[in-house]
Structures are given as C-alpha cells and as structure tokens.
Chain A
C-alpha cells in the first residue's frame, strides 16, 4: 500500500515553455501533498505544501507564480513550471501524507526536468 506515482518520469522542454508534472496517490487519499526539488548529490529541498482544496503554502524563496501547484482532489496534485529556464532543470519529487496524525510521507519516483 501507500503508493505514489508521478508522471512524466522524464521531460525535456524548451526555454520559455511550461511543463506540468502530475503526482497521484494510488491507493490512499492524500489530504496533504508536498513538492520537493533535489539538486545532484544533494538532499531534498521542500518547495511547497499542498492541501486538498486550498492554496499551496510555498517555502521562502520559491516563486509561487513560477511553480504553480494545484491539489484539486484527494489523489492528485500537479506542479506546473511556467516559462521554464535552464536553471529550472532539476529532479522534482512529490510526496503524500495519508491523513491527520500520521507524519510519514510516501514519495513518488520523481521527475527529471531538463530545460534546453
């Protein structure tokens, strides 16, 4: 149980275009989902926390107009990187928390974004 999927696993896009990444909880309802960014050989950096039906909470330094997050249902959150630039190239990982009172998060397999 507690499986989280991400799509696509890899995406290449041109500078100035937008790309959407989907995160789905497959066998549980996720009241809260999280989006992380991971640079090579580094730990995960939390970008934003997303609660179903409400606006995402962004971490300091993360541009909310550039990284649009939508959590429209209890099993789906999306991250849209708008007007992508090469410096946005990274490994993006989502996670989901199953419910209140349970701190552990279940992670998706990640999406490798390359902006050319």
Chain B
C-alpha cells in the first residue's frame, strides 16, 4: 500500500530558528513527492516537488527538502523561520501512475513565535 505519514501534527518554533517538518512515505514504486502549504481559508500552494531527479530539492520562500530512499523520508526544512511561514503544511505523494492521484498526509501546523 502507498501512504504518506507526517510525524508531527503541530510544530512550534521561534522566529529566526530552523524549521523541520517530518514526512515518511511508503511505496512500491518510485514516488513523486511534494510539499504544499495552506494558509487559513486559502487553497494550497506548491512549495517544492521531487520527481526522481536531484534528491535535494529547493523550493520557494527558502524551503528545501531531501529525498532519502534508504530512510523513506522527505523532510522539509528552512534555516530561519519567518512569521509569515505560520501555516498548515502537507506532505503529498503521487505514485506517478495512471491518473496521478495525490495522497495527502494529515498535515503539520507550523506556529512561529515572535
């Protein structure tokens, strides 16, 4: 079965400190993996994607993620949190086959403390 697990439902960091949002996946195939961000009452914005090219992926707003096949992980990081980063983050998986349906993690709420 294919699935994605976000290990933390809520992460709280101080402004200016590093951000780490954890995601593990389970797949029999080479996956495509994404991180999306959702601000309150808004749609989802694509932060970055991994589609079997470089394992270290750089996204928008200073975020990056590293695909580690040996650990089946795709953790999202940012060196220095900004107040505007406070939002819900979803790790998303696509098997890359058929209709390319997305499987969503349950989400991690990031709070940034001034």
Contacts and interface: CB of A to CB of B under 8 A. Distances in A.
Interface residues on A, range: 20 to 34
Interface residues on B, range: 20 to 34
Given A93-B43, A109-B43, A104 B32 contact: yes
Given A43-B90, A43-B107, A44-B104, A32 B45 contact: no
A49 interface: yes
Contact of A43 (B32, B43, B104): B104
Contact of B99 (A6, A32, A93): A32
A112 B41 CA distance: 8
Given A32-B99, A43-B106, A106 B46 contact: yes
Interface string A45-67: 01001000000010000000000
Contacts of B34: 104
Interface of B: 32, 34, 36, 41-46, 49, 51, 90, 94, 96, 99-102, 104-107
Interface of A: 4, 6, 32, 34, 42-44, 46, 49, 57, 91, 93, 95, 97, 102-110, 112
